Amino acid sequence: MRRPSARLWRTAAILASCLTVSCLDDPVDLGGHDDYLAQLELIWNQYDRLFVGFVYTGAVDWDEVFEEYSARTDTVTTQASFIYLMSEMLSELEDAGICLVFAGDPIVPWQPDVEASYDWDVLWQNYLEPAGFEWFEEGWWGYCVMDSVPYILIAEWNDMIYGGYLDEVLAQHPDAPAVVIDQRPCGGGSVERIGQVARRFNDQTRIAYYTLYRKGPGREDLSEPEPRHVYTLPSWYEGPVAVLIGEDCYGAPELFACMADELPNAVLIGDTTMSEVTTPAVYALPGGSSYSVPVETILRADSSSWLQVTGVAPDIFVPATPEDFAAGRDPILEFALLWARGAGPGARASWTSGPARTRHSREW
């Protein structure tokens, strides 16, 4: 079974979010179809009024950006060339949540350079299939048992994630040394179910992260942080749990990693996540084109770290390289299984105590 490459999967997910997160609001009357300066002013003003990322993109002089790109509209002769000019302008903000659509095709102005943390063919052929992996819901999530360790794969966060399946697996393996949750192949998805999974490993209500949006005339005027909680269940799983993350994790997987980082017995293994969690609003332009504006962002539970800047760092950094995949190995999964077999009371503390973690704080 094959999945798209990380970059194609990410682009498709961003396009989906651009079409579904909010309605396509009609722009003001722009005059003639070829009034490209009016369109630029509309886009620039919407960002000036709504874009939530100015608080952490201070190096960008948005007024200078307007002067530079408005002068270049004189050279634009088609809507297509205008959209590509806007892609260049919006790339100045270095936010992977920004998307334009022209003729049904997504254009993502900027994406970070990330290294894959897994190879689907290697994962499936060398680990999952030999272990008798079964889908709960085909293509979305499933499980197997490797070396007495229950392994849960989340290939896409969506409404098909039903916690009852997870309860059954945990009940069937009461003596398992730990549980591994792997969301590295997950291409974004919906955040609606991440709390349903996280609460099964949580002992009490905790703040997982905060959401904020623009409020006020200033570019860095934001709303008060609104806490998002992770709750618990009376029969929560008290054993250790490893959550696998990597540079290609963004959106819903990053928010789940935020939650997992607050859980009492969870350990994050792999590499720092992508840092792409903004929520877009979408606006229409002439000719069936559209553009998105990131309007909501995430503050970590520590109340000081922007997830869009820091990502979620692992408790245990494990490198994974193309050479590993070419050799048929998945070093992050192999380490997680090794860790799980040796996990026990205090396993999290033994790995995470001491100074604040950094990206390469503990390398396998």
> What pLDDT tens digit does each residue of the chain (364 aa) get?
544 444 443 444 444 444 444 445 544 445 444 699 999 999 999 999 999 999 988 789 999 999 999 999 999 999 999 999 999 999 999 999 999 999 999 999 999 988 999 999 999 999 999 999 999 999 999 999 999 999 999 999 988 888 999 999 999 999 999 999 999 998 778 888 999 999 999 999 999 999 999 998 999 999 999 999 999 999 999 999 999 999 999 999 999 999 999 999 999 999 999 999 889 999 999 989 999 999 999 999 999 999 999 999 999 999 999 999 999 999 999 999 999 998 744 444 444 433 333 333 333 3
Please check whether residue 30 lies inside any domain of the structure. yes
CB 127 within 8 A of CB 95: no
Check whether residue 158 and residue 70 sit in a common domain. no
Please check whether residue 60 lies inside any domain of the structure. yes
Residue indicated by tokens 């800047």 = 309
Check whether residue 77 and residue 125 sit in a common domain. no
Check whether residue 178 and residue 305 sit in a common domain. yes
Check whether residue 209 and residue 309 sit in a common domain. yes
CATH classification of the domain holding 262:
3.90.226.10
Write out the two tokens for 21: 């997160």
Please check whether residue 321 lies inside any domain of the structure. yes
Check whether residue 132 and residue 39 sit in a common domain. no
Check whether residue 180 and residue 327 sit in a common domain. yes
Check whether residue 126 and residue 167 sit in a common domain. yes
Number of domains comprising the chain: 2
Provide the b/e sequence for 204-242 (b: ≥16 CB within 10 Å).
Answer: eebbbbbbbebeeeebeebeeeeebbbebeeebbebbbb
Write out the two tokens for 226: 């609104």
Please check whether residue 351 lies inside any domain of the structure. no
Check whether residue 306 and residue 165 sit in a common domain. yes
Please check whether residue 162 lies inside any domain of the structure. yes
Domain region containing 159 = 120-276+296-342
